[in-house]
């Protein structure tokens, strides 16, 4: 499914007049806009986690260079900035249809981290809270899932605010004509 400009979506919204149509890409089960929704929410969450939890932890353990490097700045700073700019500069509205994907993403990442931990990087966890040998591990993993859902809800709320502002601008433009 994809949103196509210029067609009524049935909501009566004068600003967003789009409808969903099937693409012939063969990927009928996924929509690139849903992937953008997931990336937007996950990158925002990861940025917050890195700079509010992991960076202070790295400073406390005496290894801030693990966070303060060019790759980390790009992954955890520039990435979220560019995605947010793209979100704010376009008519894209975040959909609740991304919920299954946002729930699947931390699950897939956790399995990937377990495989890397057990095979390639023996004993290394990319995030200290992913360790399984603590009694808090189930709560951390549940919290990780809940945090992703909360990030999606936050981005959906930002989307609603953006939509209201766009409606106000469109209404003002129509009145002046």
Q: What is the pLDDT of residue 18?
A: 44
Region 154-173: what's the mean pLDDT?
83
Q: What is the pLDDT of residue 50?
A: 86
Paired tokens of 41: 């929410």
Helices (H), 50-98: 55-60, 70-73, 79-89
Q: What is the pLDDT of residue 31?
A: 74
- ∠ CA 97-150-9, rounded to 5°: 25
* Cα distances (Å, whole numbers) of residue 7 to 72, 120, 157, 166, 177: 42, 51, 25, 18, 23
pTM: 0.73
Q: Exposed, middle or buried by CB within 10 Å (0-12, 13-18, 19+), for 110?
A: middle
Query: Residues 124-159: pLDDT tens digits?
Result: 777 777 788 888 888 988 999 999 999 999 999 999
Type and span of the H or E element at 160: helix 137-176
With cut-offs at 50, 70 and 90, classify the pLDDT of residue 42: very high
- DSSP letter string over 112-136? HHHHHHHTTSTT--SSGGG-SSSTT
Rounded distance, CA 36 to CA 156, Å? 12
The answer on pLDDT for 4 being more than 90 is no
The answer on pLDDT for 15 being more than 90 is no
40 in Cβ contact with 92 (< 8 Å): no
Spatial CB neighbours of 83, under 8 Å, sequence gap ≥ 6: 36, 39, 40, 43, 44
Highest average pLDDT, of 71-80, 106-115, 132-141, 147-156, comes from 147-156
Q: What is the pLDDT of residue 45?
A: 93
Paired tokens of 90: 């376009």
């Amino acid at each position: 499914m994809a949103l196509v400009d210029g067609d009524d979506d049935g909501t009566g919204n004068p600003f967003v007049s789009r409808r969903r149509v099937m693409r012939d890409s063969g990927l009928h089960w996924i929509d690139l806009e849903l992937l953008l929704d997931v990336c937007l929410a996950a990158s925002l969450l990861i940025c917050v986690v890195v700079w509010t939890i992991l960076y202070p932890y790295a400073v406390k353990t005496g290894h801030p260079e693990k966070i303060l490097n060019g790759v980390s700045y790009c992954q955890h700073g520039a990435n979220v900035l560019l995605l947010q700019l793209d979100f704010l500069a376009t008519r894209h509205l975040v959909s609740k249809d991304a919920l299954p994907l946002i729930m699947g993403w931390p699950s897939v990442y956790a399995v990937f981290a377990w495989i890397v931990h057990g095979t390639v990087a023996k004993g290394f966890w990319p995030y200290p809270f992913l360790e399984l040998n603590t009694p808090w591990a189930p709560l951390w993993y549940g919290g990780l899932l809940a945090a992703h859902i909360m990030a999606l809800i936050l981005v959906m709320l930002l989307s609603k605010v953006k939509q209201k502002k766009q409606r106000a601008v469109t209404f003002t433009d129509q009145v002046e004509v």
